[in-house]
Amino acid sequence: MFNAIGRIFRTPDLRRKLGFTLGIVALFRLGSFIPAPFVDFGNVQACLAANQSGAAGLYDLVNLFSGGALLQLSIFALGIMPYITASIIVQLLRVVIPHFETLYKEGQAGQSRLTQYTRYLTIALGVLQSTTLITVARSGALFPSSAPECSQLITNDAWYAILLMVITMTAGTGLIMWMGELITERGIGNGMSLLIFTSIAATFPGSLWAIGIARGWDVFAIVLAIGLLVVVAVVFVEQSQRRIPVQYAKRMVGRRTYGGNNTYIPIKVNMAGVVPVIFASSLLYLPALIAQFNTPAAGETPQPWVVWITNNLTQGGHPLYMLMYFLLIVGFTYFYVAITFNPDEVSENMKKYGGFIPGIRAGRPTAEYLDYVLTRITLPGSFYLGFIALIPLIAFAMVGADQNFPFGGASILIIVGVGLETVKQIDAQLQQRHYEGLLR
């Protein structure tokens, strides 16, 4: 293992790519601590210290993906979240807009156009989300604390100051997007995924330390043990796949023979990745966000629906919240898999190149068989996603580790998934140069 790591740094090309990637990651983390214009840095730090328990509530998910930059009101406050949202929207629009589906099938040229649309939508979402964040910060609702500092985060309420803050945060989103593309082109791994990985991994030490200080080191040891088991389970499931055998008939093209080989279609247990968890979390945030903006002033009686939402849909440990969260994840898993994997398209491509599944006729029977297998394998995959997402909420109720519990939900899925993919890419490049990879 250590010899393989040494070969990485002894290979000039690989060493240069790794150094470039680490340099971009360092710049990304540095920008997460630079406050935006007209932000009172002292008051922000005081509010963060008063809310060490992770009670940011509605903004936990976005703050997680920004590596804590959201609550810092930094120039990278929005993080990579606008790009993630834009990518998902463009992917879903392929089902609704035929032009997008046509571009997707055009190959490299069409993919470039879709990428450009994703960039434009990212900037538009950056403007919208930065405006919302500044409005919430000005109202004093960004932190649940009633301390006077938390309502005085912005030092200048003039229109030009607000405009400059919106431009700065949106430009920060554009810069993050550019950094991710640079890593993809000149570094190692997928740039956007690595930046998300960095943001989430950066919060782990602080979360674990907060658990040890607040709950005791015995709870800290329990959390580490649970975390190790969760990581092992996630690695096992993420690597699991159903391999459907495919045979290709021999074809004569001129004097050459093509086909005649055997391969397989890998269908992963978790085909949807972390997207259903993001969808479910975002959808559950909407009622709480609406209720927050309809909270009455001091002395006024709140409306019954606001009280019901506050009591049932804002507390992660509430049974109704857990049940709705789990059901939404299961539903979104089936929805997203149905969009991203088209059995009819796969069957048509196999038929075009002379491929068939042994015992299954080509054409419509093949598509029906693939749909049958996909439906059955998605069920345990959706339950697995729901269980992993509920781990932090169960920890809140059982261990008392509150929202600082880091080993669960979207965080561990992204950490393990990106880590495995990056190691595979490094391993492949080592095998090209030394005939031995990182892993044996």
Read off the pLDDT of residues 342-370 as tens digits, 9 standing for 90 and up. 888 888 888 887 788 888 888 888 889 99
Q: Whole-angstrom Cα distance, residue 288 to residue 302?
A: 14
List the alpha helices (DSSP H) in 216-363: 217-239, 275-293, 304-312, 319-340, 343-352
The answer, yes or no, to whether residue 403 has pLDDT greater than 70, is no
Q: What is the pLDDT of residue 55?
A: 41
Q: Which of 71, 73, 67 is nearest to 59 (CA)?
A: 71
Q: Whole-angstrom Cα distance, residue 118 to residue 111?
A: 10
Q: What is the pLDDT of residue 54?
A: 44
> Residue 263 phi/psi, 5° resolution?
-145, -165
Q: What is the pLDDT of residue 251?
A: 66
What length does the chain have?
440
Neighbours of 130 (CB within 10 A): 24
Q: Whole-angstrom Cα distance, residue 189 to residue 18?
A: 10
Q: Whole-angstrom Cα distance, residue 300 to residue 426?
A: 60
Average pLDDT, the chain: 80
Q: Whole-angstrom Cα distance, residue 344 to residue 340?
A: 12
Q: Which of 61, 59, 83, 81 is nearest to 71 (CA)?
A: 59
∠ CA 381-383-388, nearest 5°, is 95
Q: Which residues pair with 268 in a beta bridge?
A: 241
Q: What is the pLDDT of residue 247?
A: 83
Tokens of 197: 């990985």
Q: What is the pLDDT of residue 46?
A: 81
Helices (H) and strands (E) in the chain, counts: 17, 5
The packing angle between helices 364-398 and 275-293, to 10°, is: 50
Average pLDDT of the residues in 239-266: 76
The answer, yes or no, to whether residue 53 has pLDDT greater than 50, is no
Average pLDDT of the residues in 73-93: 86
Cα radius of gyration (the chain): 24
Tokens of 202: 């950066």
Whether 280 contacts 329, CB under 8 Å = yes
Does residue 356 sit in helix, strand or coil? strand
Q: Whole-angstrom Cα distance, residue 245 to residue 197?
A: 34
Could you tell me the pTM of the whole model? 0.79
pLDDT band, residue 272 (cuts 50/70/90): confident
Average pLDDT of the residues in 230-236: 86
Neighbours of 368 (CB within 10 A): 15
Contacts within 8 Å (CB) and 24+ apart, 218-222: 219/399, 219/400, 219/401, 222/399
Q: Give the residue, 282 or 4, on which the prediction is more confident.
A: 282
The answer, yes or no, to whether residue 400 has pLDDT greater than 70, is no
The packing angle between helices 81-96 and 191-215, to 10°, is: 130
Q: What is the pLDDT of residue 420?
A: 84
Q: Which residues contact 349 (CB under 8 A, 6 or more apart)?
A: 355
- The sign of the dihedral angle between the CA atoms of 165, 167, 170, 174 is negative
Highest-pLDDT range among 1-15, 35-49, 402-416? 35-49
Listed range (35-44, 234-243, 316-325) with the worst mean pLDDT:
316-325
Q: Whole-angstrom Cα distance, residue 264 to residue 246?
A: 5
Q: Whole-angstrom Cα distance, residue 226 to residue 388?
A: 12
Domains in the chain (CATH in brackets) are 23-186 (1.10.3370.10), 205-439 (1.10.3370.10)
Whether 82 contacts 173, CB under 8 Å = yes
Residue type, 241: Q
Average pLDDT of the residues in 191-197: 85
Average pLDDT of the residues in 105-116: 84
- Report CA 422 to chain centroid distance, whole Å: 16
- In which residue are the tokens 């997680």 written? 64
Q: Which of 46, 112, 258, 82 is nearest to 172 (CA)?
A: 82
| Residue 62: half-sphere exposure toward Cβ, Cα within 13 Å | 24
Q: Whole-angstrom Cα distance, residue 267 to residue 271?
A: 7
Q: What is the pLDDT of residue 170?
A: 94
Whether 350 contacts 246, CB under 8 Å = yes
